[in-house]
Amino acid sequence: MNTFFDLLVSSILLAGLYMTMSFGLTMIYGVMKIINLAHAGVIMLGAYLTYTLYHTLGIDPILSLVINLPLFFLFGMFIHRVFVSRVPLADVPTLPSLLLLFGIWLILQNIAYLIWSGNDRSIMTAYTTSTFQILGAHVSLIRVIVFVISILALIFLQLFLSRTYMGKAIRAITQNRNSARLAGIDVERISMVAFGIGIAFAALAGTLMSTMYSFNPDFGRTFLLKAFVIIVLGGLESFYGVAIGALLLALFESYSALFIQASLQPAISFTLLVVILIFLPGGITGLLQRRRKAA
């Protein structure tokens, strides 16, 4: 019973991190129908910037978010303005956009090799190994902190999308880009802002992950694949779907540890992705919409 409860708590906390690393992909795909393959590179770069700020200036990884998020937001808008805006938009991901963002990922990765080398790095703070108990379950303090920040990020995103003009414009473009343009929305400018937000969320995920995992320039690849699984499971454009998808993947991974070796856990994600694409191509939100129409 204790093991079951421990895994449940662990799954919920892990789902918070998975949500954060997937929101950026969903935001960019929803607005521009682009699969941001550079997402993994930004996660990696966010981890390294946090590492550098901690070891050179002594800035706590959590406090470094005050620097990281605005910086990566501007970095995302720069990438969109200089590179992504030159790729013709379409209603489905195109080969030029995939190749462009894959190339940016490789550039970021090689920059990291030049600056930080290929050695594994990690961040050890005073609270990295701290734990406490919840109803008998041992819980890592850093995982709770990461979970709380992830929930706050979700609340912020929801308020931003529902209460601000910019957020409503992003939702309008997500639903129909041409209609949004006819309504007077500056689609190019809103897309640039949305891309910046997506990149900032990737950096947020990288910062949080740097407090939990060691990393190197290849960091982010596995998490990118998991993010794909989550957004496909959630229905590609739904933030609530992403939250559900993140929780389901975390539950699958955590409880599978009872039956298979830890080294085989990545296979869970890939198997789940194949199953979803075959039997549930619209994701959970697509399934719910079909049932709502049928009711």
- pLDDT score at 47: 94
**What is the pLDDT confidence band of residue 9, given thresholds at 50, 70 and 90?**
confident
pLDDT at residue number 236? 67
C-alpha–C-alpha distance, residues 280 and 13, integer Å? 26
Token representation of residue 188: 């190019």
Distances (CA, A) of 207 to 17, 198, 260, 278: 11, 14, 30, 34
Residue 17, domain member (yes or no): yes
* Contact residues for 123 (Cβ-Cβ < 8 A; gap 6+): 50, 51, 54, 61, 210, 211
Cα separation, 176 vs 180, in Å, equals 6
Residue 232's alpha-carbon distances to 76, 203, 219, in angstroms, are: 23, 21, 22
Q: Is 264 within a domain?
A: no
Is the pLDDT higher at 89 or at 253?
253
pLDDT in tens, 275-291: 877 777 777 777 776 67
Confidence category of residue 1, pLDDT binned at 50, 70, 90: low
Q: What is the dihedral of CA 267, 269, 14, 50, to 10 degrees?
A: 90
147 in any annotated domain = yes
Q: Report which of 76, 18, 19 is spatially closest to residue 42, judged by C-alpha positions.
A: 76
Burial of 230 (C-beta count, 10 Å sphere; 0-12/13-18/19+):
buried
- Beta strand pairing call for 131-134 and 137-140: antiparallel
Q: Which tens digits make up the pLDDT trace of 67-107?
A: 999 999 999 999 999 998 888 777 777 788 888 999 999 99
Residue 8 has pLDDT above 90, yes or no: no
The pLDDT value given to residue 109:
93
In a domain, 244, yes or no: no
Domain that holds residue 130: 1-218
Q: Which amino acid, residue 217? A: P
Q: What is the mean pLDDT of residues 59-66?
A: 93
Q: In the prediction, which pLDDT does 75 show?
A: 95
**pLDDT given at position 295:** 67
> How many domains, in total, are found in the chain?
1
Query: What's the CA gap between 112 and 218, in Å, rounded?
Result: 9
Residue 250: inside a domain: no
Q: What is the mean pLDDT of residues 172-187?
A: 85
Q: What's the mean pLDDT when you consider all of the chain?
A: 85
283 located within any domain:
no
Looking at per-residue confidence, does 45 or 278 come out higher?
Answer: 45
Place of tokens 């910037």: 49
In a domain, residue 294? The reply is no
Residue 277 lies in a domain: no
